[in-house]
Structure 1
């Protein structure tokens, strides 16, 4: 797996101060995507053990809330193979870190064992370890600058632990509009 960028002390892609990893590779190709260069699976640099180590170190300070993984498409099957052991390391080495994933795939697609486009042997394990999933493709005709942590109104900010516990999609308290700013 390759990655396009890592942002340290990022406050735009999840709650609190975070490290954000932009993975490479995406088959959605959403019209109006803000990160088209990451569609190419070969874009950027190789995601090595050294890069993992560096990210894990950035998650340790008390003022860092966690990691956000976006892209590209983290939940492409080929990316899941690399991300699952990385997330397992984070849960072991920095258990206080919350994990957010942005995916163009919906919760329903990801949890459908028959959907080989995005469901693999790694999917359920990844979902069991994350706190928030922002799901759904970006849709330019549904773009809304007043939404928190998402670009279009079809996307959802999902509380993953509650969703797994209840067996139905439970939206996060962050699935609202940002009324603190005017556009």
Structure 2
């Protein structure tokens, strides 16, 4: 783990704008790739779990992926496999998780750009992030670029005190399912219109 994170482990869960950067932290590794699952968003999805997350939320369901050095390097061959898997007519889209996608922007933007080039808007892209929408709005250009190219953001740190297993696609009640494109157009957070709970 990056020495900066080790030194301040208990203090850095709420980063200042631009304090954590993909350029400094990402090792361009992935923890795993799971094609054709039903749990990481709406419909049948291909899910890419990137490596590294300094939020280290208590009760995190994927602790092993907090380490930026965990897993395997992201490769062009894997990207082509993901694109091939996404081409299935029954596959609705891609989900980015981790780890923290917004601290692995080189990996995520490479894949997102390739998806948009090949499929346009016919495949949707979801992402989970420990960052809130408001934090991302104040952060680095690469984070804003990634945000601008996805459809749905599940934002905010997992809060074990607000854990609720009945919630749709999220673990704690502070997290939101945000329609990114509508929110960017209207300049305020617009929640996903299929939200049930």
TM-score in terms of structure 1 length: 0.90
SS at 1:85's partner residue? helix
User: 2:63: which partner in 1?
Assistant: 36
**Matched length:** 169
Take 1:52 and 1:22, find their aligned partners in 2: how far apart are those partners? 13
Take 2:75 and 2:66, find their aligned partners in 1: how far apart are those partners? 20
CA shift for structure 1 position 82: 2.4
User: 1:89: which partner in 2?
Assistant: 114
Runs of 4+, deviation exceeding 4 Å:
none
Where structure 2 has 5 or more consecutive residues not aligned to the other structure, the ranges are 1-27
1:107 aligns with 2:133: yes
Contact kept? 1:23, 1:71, Cα under 8 Å: yes
Alpha-carbon displacement from aligned partner over 1:108-160 (angstroms, at most 9, x marks no partner): 00111xxxxxx222122211111000000001110001100000000000000
Alignment of 1:21-32 (within 5 A): 21-32=48-59
Take 1:98 and 1:9, find their aligned partners in 2: how far apart are those partners? 14
User: 2:158: which partner in 1?
Assistant: 138
Where structure 1 has 5 or more consecutive residues not aligned to the other structure, the ranges are 113-118, 178-183
Take 2:168 and 2:96, find their aligned partners in 1: how far apart are those partners? 17
